[in-house]
Amino acid sequence: MIWLLLVPAYLVGTFPNAAIVARSRGIDIQQVGSGNPGASNVARMMGTKWGVVVFILDGLKGAIPAAAGVLLDNRAAAYGMLAAAVLGHMFPITRRFKGGKGVATMGGGAMVLQPILSLAMLMLWVIVRKLSGKASIASLAIMIGLPVAVAVKGAPGWEIATLVACNALVLVRHVDNIKRLLAGRELSASRTA
């Protein structure tokens, strides 16, 4: 019965934070920059503070379902609900399955399920972004780093496998970024306004 919560978790993931925040400033976020409805594109087009707002809101889309699973004392359900929320963010039925790339939503859930390691990944993201000037490189670094860190920590195999699967999907969503990086055409991280 607890797996019935996957549907509401998916629907939580579909909430269009980036589109709403951008629209409040008269911008259609899917028509500017990379066209991605996520925190990085909002930061690029509207400034860092707006990107942070969207990052936090998108993070809550992962944190709330994961926390619900933890409160139900079912860690497997918590991971399942996080995965459903990430899928909802990436492939929202409400927007013809055209969503974001899942970094913030995955990060929000991971913060609930692996708080210490997630804080370390957040620091890694900030450092890599600062050094490279590319949010996509920072995102790729933490998507690889978190499963590795969880494995080193000695988590159960199913937890590691779930994180690998979710993060692999996030990495797949970054294929265009990777192509642009290789071609030297990736957009810079953000404006400062």
Per-residue pLDDT of the chain (193 residues; tens, 9 = 90+): 677 899 999 999 999 999 999 999 999 998 998 888 888 889 989 998 999 999 999 999 999 999 999 999 899 999 999 999 999 999 999 888 888 889 899 999 999 999 999 999 999 999 998 998 877 788 889 989 999 999 999 999 999 999 999 989 988 887 877 787 777 776 665 544 4
Give the span between the Cα atoms of 49 and 22, in whole angstroms: 12
User: What per-residue confidence (pLDDT) applies to 1?
Assistant: 62
Q: Which residues are within 8 A (CB) of 8 and not within 5 positions of it... i.e. 6 or more apart?
A: 65
User: What per-residue confidence (pLDDT) applies to 185?
Assistant: 73
User: What per-residue confidence (pLDDT) applies to 12?
Assistant: 97
Q: How far is CA 21 from the centre of its chain?
A: 17
C-beta of residue 78 within 8 angstroms of C-beta of residue 38: no
Tokens read off for 95: 């927007």
| Region class of 33: left (phi > 0), else alpha (psi between -120 and 50), else beta | left
C-beta of residue 18 within 8 angstroms of C-beta of residue 54: yes
Global pTM exceeds 0.85? yes
Q: Which residues are within 8 A (CB) of 42 and not within 5 positions of it... i.e. 6 or more apart?
A: 18, 21, 22, 29, 50, 51, 53, 54
User: What per-residue confidence (pLDDT) applies to 193?
Assistant: 41
C-beta of residue 34 within 8 angstroms of C-beta of residue 42: no
- Residue found under tokens 């899942």: 102
